[in-house]
A = this chain, B = another copy of it.
Amino acid sequence: MFIADCQARLAFDLLAHTWNPVLLWTLRHGPARPADLRRRVGGISPKVLTETLRRLEHHGLVTHRRYREAPPRVEYELTALGRTLLPAIEALGDWAHTHGDDVLAAQDRAR
């Protein structure tokens, strides 16, 4: 199932950018503006946020809508395809909450 050039690699490549799953997960409740996203996801710079959103759009997982207002407003949201990735992302998050300390302890022992 996991030969180097097979489809599963696509999923891992998607997650090879740490911010990808974080942003997908943060968008699970609905559309959000870049400023909202930066508030919810501490530690992400405007530049990295923009790059990540563009990358997720390129993969068809996120879309955006522009509102002709003054000042102009843009909102990002998950596509239907993006939503399908949430359960796998949640499984990873749950794993981290259950076993994160074990990994940190292993890292300490390895030092």
A positions within 8 Å CB-CB of B: 1-5, 7-18, 21-22, 25-26, 40-44, 57-61, 81, 84-85, 87-88, 91-107, 109-110
**Interface contact A16-B14, CB-CB below 8 Å:** no
Give Cα distance in the complex from A98 to B96, angstroms.
24
Give Cα distance in the complex from A109 to B79, angstroms.
15
- Measured between C-beta atoms, what is the minimum distance from A99 to chain B in Å? 6
Q: List 20 A-B contacts (CB under 8 A).
A: A2-B26, A2-B41, A3-B40, A7-B96, A8-B92, A9-B18, A11-B93, A12-B22, A12-B92, A15-B92, A57-B110, A59-B106, A59-B107, A60-B102, A60-B109, A81-B99, A81-B103, A84-B98, A88-B92, A91-B91
